[in-house]
Structure 1
Amino acid sequence: MTLLPPPLDCHVLAARSVGPFVLGTPLGVVVRTLNQMEAAIPQVECKYDESEPLGNDIVLNLSANGICLRFDPQSQRLKLIELFDFERLTLYYKDVEFNSQKVLPTFDSIYRIFGPIYPGEFDASKKEYTLTYPGIAFVFPIPQQHIPLPNLTDLPLSFPDGTTPVLNRLYVYSGSEFWRDAVAPRPKGYAGPIAIKVIGEGVSFSFNPRSVESHEDTVEITFGAPTQDVLDALGKPQAICARDTDPGALGTAEVTGANDSNNASSHRAMNGGDLEAEDDDGGADDYFWNYFNLGIDILFSGAQHAVKKVVLHANAVGHWDFTQYIKAEFVVEGRGISVDSKWDDIQKAMRPTEEAGPPRPVVHNRGGHQNPFGPTCFYGYPGIIFEVMNKTGCLASVTVFEHEP
């Protein structure tokens, strides 16, 4: 028999958060939080649509804690927090306890704590009454013997026998009047995606990666730029790792550099590594700087310590790196290609003539046993490589490198 953890203490803020879970937080950041809370949150189930991963929510179900977290499938940011097992939770609103093993969350008690509001909505098919405040909704089951309700406009709601409904579900959300239409908030200062303006030259941030509050001019990372320029623009990386130069990593070198999008994340030699120690090493091996919170890796030349390649991660569900990076929202300007583009559309946008077919792919299955979701394919064009999920045609990563037109 599995022992359940003690009830999780959470403060509830309408339109913002429940405990450690804040609306708008990227999926990867939430997963890191869950890893750090393993003793309190022992079970996490991830659900998503395998056939159309961009069409339906990504869900993290914390069954032992009575919490369900829903993420927008495209932005991969937290858009809805659902609480469904109130025996597993102790809840507070403005330091007032409204649910615990000692306090029953009734309609009457919640109405007194949260204050007056317009009458809620009764769903006869589900036998549920929903009381909605801005950014938070409370759902109460209505017993059959009390249907139809004679006093829907009377608040607080009570039954003819003098009892009052008990909370069944709670939703915290933002961006809409109703929880079903919740929209994941953007971070403050978000000004747009990472742009590949000219293939073969570099990438451009339309915001300052070092300050989400900043609206400064765009930040450019160009090929050949020294490490100090990248450090000034992006700050210190979260990790540094050596490039895996084993040609057997993919079994073929037909797409030059195709293995870099894999090596950047799977061979982390120094998590949060020391920059000075790396620069003073004196070796000529190329190395990556990993920026997990930006969804990118930057490959430097070990000899010149200059930018050679940039890998942008789509954090595709089913990929072996899923949740390790925040999704890098990028566009290839002039091509109509974005991080959410499918391979069929990408190859049409990239082909030089109407008759030209797609390039020959390099298939990578990571040894066959490490990824239960099947291989990915790398398709190389001058200055850019697309890593595509075989099953869905979604992008897993894009690698850009220096190329003269």
Structure 2
Amino acid sequence: MYSTLDVDIRPGLGLGIFDIGASLWMVLDRLRNLQHIFPQIEVKYDPDASAITPIILHVRPHLDLLFSGKGQRLHTICVRKLRDPNPPVTLRYKDKIISSDNVILRRVVVNRTFGPTYPGDELRYPGLWFSFEDDAIGEGALQGLAGADKTQEVKRVFISQKGNDGKVGDALEEVKECPLMTGDISRAILKIHDGIVLHFYGHANRILHMRIGETTAQDLTLDLGPPLRVHYKEDERMAIHSATKKSNPDEDGAYFYNYFQHGLDFLMDGATHIVRKIVVHTNLPGSPLFQRYKRCYWEIEGTPEDDEDDSPPRKRFYDRFETISHFLSPREPPPSMHLDRTDEEENLTLPSPATRLYGYDGIFLEVTESSQIVSVVLF
């Protein structure tokens, strides 16, 4: 028996521990640490376009969390099955209980609590609306309902950003920048044979340029803070493909600085402690690396047409492999190598676990069977 889910409604801002604008990576990480409260979680997504389509977390039995497709930010929260006692759910607004196992939330209570609103079949307020039907978040949530009986029972409650009125098109829009995003990477521009340029939310003038063969471990710590993990490189399976004559290319003790919260890895030289490679992650649902890293909003920058071109061509994380491959090399894609990251994970079963590695001059791509990019490595 699980305890009552007791949460406060914050119109336009969130519900309980869930904040509008929070990243999918952060929310899932928090839920993982609260399994005693949220024991059943289901992730729903479009496997053929998971880089651009919304993702829904079903936190059974009461919560549906809708995340925007590209930014993977919490867009809309739906509270449903208000009368389900397993476990019971209590909703509060400004410390006042408006719904619980023995308090039924009705239309008249909403009117008294939140005041007048525009006429309609649903009760809508800025960043908050109430529905009187039990439908999935993607169906009845965004449609009008009939009836205006004062005793009508509320079946679902929705919280979203203010200005979002719940129409169908809004569910596909990205979450607007909000204070919660401050300090997160807003754009990561990949420059082949150079490095990565990082832009941040809330700091328009803060731009960091990490260069391969130049940026040091100390630079990374000063600019990005200490990594969440330092991992010493032990996997030598790619050494057989190396052109070097060294029997062990990594005998210098190379190690990774893992910034899971930014979707970034930096491979550091064990002797000089200078960046050798940079890895960016797309956090695709259904891929073996899903939820290990936050999505990095990366762009691959091409060569400007001339010296006066201040907007060089770029391809982004949601572009298909064929488009990015032609961008990197107009010729046929290079031969690929097969990779199955579940080979060493006995208890991990995925519908399409295999990816392919494609190498180009200064960059290689890890690609799913549906032509989506899992990760990019600059070297």
SS in 1 for 2:375: strand
Letter in 2 for 1:202: G
Aligned to 1:327: 295
Distance 2:60 2:275 in 1: 45
Matched, 1:308 2:276: yes
Letter in 2 for 1:382: D
Aligned to 1:253: 241
Letter in 1 for 2:74: L
Distance 2:199 2:118 in 1: 42
1:345 aligned residue (323, 326, 338)? 323
Aligned to 1:177: 165
- Which deviates more from structure 2 when the two are superposed, residues 37-46 or residues 212-221? 212-221
Superposition map of 1:138-287 within 5 A: 138-141=130-133, 149=147, 157-158=149-150, 164-174=151-161, 175-178=163-166, 180=168, 181-182=170-171, 183=173, 184-186=175-177, 187-188=181-182, 192-196=186-190, 198-207=191-200, 212-224=201-213, 225-247=215-237, 253=241, 284-287=252-255
SS in 1 for 2:326: helix
Superposition map of 1:69-80 within 5 A: 69-80=65-76
Q: 1:191 to 1:235 in 2, by over 3 A?
A: closer
Letter in 2 for 1:241: H
Distance 2:358 2:45 in 1: 26
Q: 1:217 to 1:6 in 2, by over 3 A?
A: closer
Q: What is the percent sequence identity of the aligned residues?
A: 28
> Unpaired runs of 5+ in structure 2?
135-144, 245-250, 303-312
- Give 1:190 deviation, angstroms: 6.8
SS in 2 for 1:218: strand
Q: 1:348 to 1:98 in 2, by over 3 A?
A: same
Distance 1:317 1:96 in 2: 38
Aligned to 1:365: 340
Distance 2:133 2:57 in 1: 24
- Give 1:117 deviation, angstroms: 1.1
- Give 1:70 deviation, angstroms: 0.9
Distance 1:255 1:318 in 2: 33
Aligned to 1:11: 8
Is contact 1:255–1:378 with CA below 8 Å preserved after alignment?
Answer: no
Distance 1:179 1:12 in 2: 21
- Give 1:59 deviation, angstroms: 1.1
- Alignment root-mean-square deviation, CA: 2.3
Is contact 1:189–1:215 with CA below 8 Å preserved after alignment?
Answer: no
**1:88-107 CA distances to partner (integer Å, 9 max, x unpaired)?**
31111111110112321111
Aligned to 2:126: 134
Distance 1:32 1:357 in 2: 40
- Give 1:116 deviation, angstroms: 1.3
Aligned to 1:112: 112
Distance 1:29 1:383 in 2: 31
Distance 2:296 2:342 in 1: 26
Is contact 1:319–1:371 with CA below 8 Å preserved after alignment?
Answer: no
**1:134-160 CA distances to partner (integer Å, 9 max, x unpaired)?**
111101249xxxx985xx5xxxx43xx
Distance 2:30 2:91 in 1: 19
- Give 1:46 deviation, angstroms: 1.0
- Which deviates more from structure 2 when the two are superposed, residues 86-95 or residues 26-35? 86-95
Q: 1:365 to 1:81 in 2, by over 3 A?
A: same
Aligned to 1:101: 101
Structure 1 stretches of at least 4 aligned residues deviating more than 6 Å after TM superposition? none
Distance 1:22 1:148 in 2: 30
Is contact 1:171–1:179 with CA below 8 Å preserved after alignment?
Answer: no
Matched, 1:389 2:379: no
Distance 1:6 1:227 in 2: 46
Distance 1:385 1:238 in 2: 25
Is contact 1:254–1:362 with CA below 8 Å preserved after alignment?
Answer: no
Aligned to 2:57: 60
Is contact 1:314–1:396 with CA below 8 Å preserved after alignment?
Answer: yes
- Give 1:252 deviation, angstroms: 5.4
Aligned to 2:310: none
Distance 1:242 1:230 in 2: 17
SS in 1 for 2:376: strand
**1:352-401 CA distances to partner (integer Å, 9 max, x unpaired)?**
x4xx21011111012546452221111111111111112x1111000101
Quick check: which has more Rg, 1 or 2? 1
